[in-house]
Amino acid sequence: MEPIKIAILEDHSVVTEGIISVLKTKPFFQVLGEFRTCTEIKKFLSETEVQFLLLDVDLPDGSGLDVLREVKAKYPTTKVAMFTLHSGQMYVENAMKAKADGYILKSDPISQLPTVIETILNGDYFVSDGISSVVLPFSSFQIEILQLLIQGLSQNEIADQINKSRKTVEYHLNQMRTKFSCKNNNELISKYQKEMQK
């Protein structure tokens, strides 16, 4: 089995050391680099391919969300999980809109990190238990569809914009309506926006 190549962007060395020490317990994880600034990680990623990036939100020279957007634009196959103290809905929503593959709270037991990374690498979205349940049922893809719906796009227009079929869009909207117990899309939007304001 080829090792999973991982990079870490975290400006507190004690936190980074804890992460590395836990990941070393899994021989198939290979930490290629640990970085403290957005500038450093961008340079590294331009030269080196990684499968997984663990990304803090607050960094000395910028926001981890900006790094997330750039990574997803340039290296779409790289899985990216936010690793942060912030549990507020707006932080989580912004990360999901930027296509993060996971949202991990630093308050979670560090020992769970290898399992969380494996979950994300297997294609599942992970959100820490400390995050409000309103976000949990929705994948980043579903959030993207919902945001476009809120902007006033029709299902056909959404399908064109995300390069998927109308049937796929309708399937995911139906999943979200079911999870929020909504009869129609207007009710879904209303409930979602109310939850985001809590």
The per-residue DSSP string of 49-73 comes to --SEEEE-SEETTEEHHHHHHHHHH
Single pTM value for the model: 0.69
Of 76-80, 126-130, 161-165, give the lowest mean pLDDT range.
126-130
Over residues 161-187, the mean pLDDT reads 89
pLDDT of residue 133: 55
Residues of the chain with CATH 3.40.50.2300: 4-127
Query: CB of 25 within 8 A of CB of 51?
Result: no
Residues of the chain above pLDDT 70, percent: 94
In eight-state DSSP terms, residue 120 is H
In eight-state DSSP terms, residue 102 is E
Query: CB of 189 within 8 A of CB of 149?
Result: yes
Which CA distances in Å does 180 have to 53, 65, 118, 164, 167? 31, 27, 28, 23, 20
In CATH terms, 140-196 corresponds, of 1.10.10.10, 1.10.1670.10, 2.102.10.10, 3.20.20.60, to 1.10.10.10
pLDDT tens by residue, 14-61: 999 999 999 999 999 999 999 999 999 999 999 999 999 999 999 999
69 vs 76: CA distance, rounded Å: 10
Task: Kindly tell me if the per-residue pLDDT of 127 is higher than 90.
Answer: no
Q: Three-class SS string for 125-180?
A: CEECCCCCCCCCCCCHHHHHHHHHHHCCCCHHHHHHHHCCCHHHHHHHHHHHHHHC
Please state the CATH superfamily assignment of the domain spanning residues 4-127 in this structure.
Response regulator (3.40.50.2300)
Residues of the chain with CATH 1.10.10.10: 140-196
Nearest in space to 27 (alpha carbons), one of 54, 59, 4: 4
Entry field: residues in the chain = 198
β-strand pairing of 79-84 with 62-63 = unpaired
The pair of structure tokens assigned to 142 is: 């579903």
Task: Kindly tell me if the per-residue pLDDT of 87 is higher than 90.
Answer: no
